[in-house]
């Protein structure tokens, strides 16, 4: 088996677990291609020198691998997606912290989980992304998101107005601090924190969620993800902030954004006992009640 390893910096609490991870891979004769900055972090901070066969720095250099391991939190996982993109390589999320919804393999279960992965005891699930179009292609080749597009006011304390259309039919003008268009995966991220609903991963939908809306009768709405959502921003400030997952751009109000389902999906692995509902209960403490 040949894998690509992508990671970011993490704290000392994960140092020993990281060493154990690479030891497990070595014992199972796994060939490793590693992101070069992460390799330097392991050398300098973790004081370990994993055996690797090659390095990669960008999307094109990930070739002939069976899996991509993302070591970190959900933010690291989202960045790993920018390297995998449309290659169809399944991603394994290993959590170096406390809570990970995408990076769902915890330290406590890592040894057993990694051995299950190596033995092929997992299923693969496809998850949809969204992409945006702007007149001048402001996000370049990174115009996609696994979680969400977030529109927000920039510096002013004044609200913005986001005129929203679905398949060119007017939906609403949202007077608010901003607006989120999220995927089903993103429904448990930023959208959830501002009152959006949780969607099952198999739901082929987007959630349109206002951020601190001025009108209390405005609520999130779920729409099919085969539609095109157009956003036009108005406000006292001539600019606004647009964020695709963790990648942000300051745009002029004259820029209109068109949101639709991306042309490619991401494959993630799902181990036994790691269903969506168990993740909700275990990671988000969903439905926890001391009476139970």
Q: Give me the active site residues, please.
A: 74
CA-wise closest residue to 1 among 27, 23, 30, 28: 30
How far is Cα 39 from Cα 66, in angstroms, rounded to an integer?
20
Other residues' Cβ atoms within 10 Å of the Cβ of residue 205: 19
């Amino acid at each position: 088996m040949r894998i690509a390893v992508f990671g970011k910096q993490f704290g000392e609490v994960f140092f020993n677990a990281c060493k154990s991870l690479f030891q497990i891979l070595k014992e199972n004769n796994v060939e490793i291609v590693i992101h070069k900055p992460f390799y330097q972090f392991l050398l300098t901070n973790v004081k370990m020198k994993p055996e690797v066969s090659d390095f990669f720095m960008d999307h094109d250099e990930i070739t002939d691998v069976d899996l991509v391991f993302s070591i970190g939190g959900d933010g690291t996982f989202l960045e790993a997606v920018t390297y995998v993109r449309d290659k169809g390589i399944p991603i394994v999320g290993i959590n170096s912290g406390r809570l990970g919804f995408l990076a769902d393999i915890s330290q406590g279960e890592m040894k057993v989980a990694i051995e299950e992965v190596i033995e092929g005891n997992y299923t693969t699930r496809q998850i949809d992304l969204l992409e945006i179009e702007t007149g001048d292609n402001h996000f370049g080749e990174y115009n996609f998101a696994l979680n969400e597009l977030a529109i927000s006011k920039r510096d002013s304390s004044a609200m913005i107005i986001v005129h929203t259309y679905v398949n060119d039919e007017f939906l609403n003008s949202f007077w608010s601090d901003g607006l989120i268009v999220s995927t089903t995966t993103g429904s448990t991220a930023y959208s959830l924190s501002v009152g959006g609903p949780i969607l099952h991963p198999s739901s082929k939908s987007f959630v349109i969620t206002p951020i601190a809306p001025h009108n209390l009768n405005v609520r999130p709405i779920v729409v099919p993800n085969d539609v095109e959502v157009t956003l036009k921003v108005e406000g006292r400030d001539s600019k606004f902030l647009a964020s695709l997952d963790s990648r942000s751009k300051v745009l002029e109000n004259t820029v209109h954004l068109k949101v639709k389902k991306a042309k490619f999906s991401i494959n993630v692995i799902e181990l036994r006992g790691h269903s969506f509902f168990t993740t909700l209960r275990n990671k988000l403490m969903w439905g926890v009640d001391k009476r139970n």
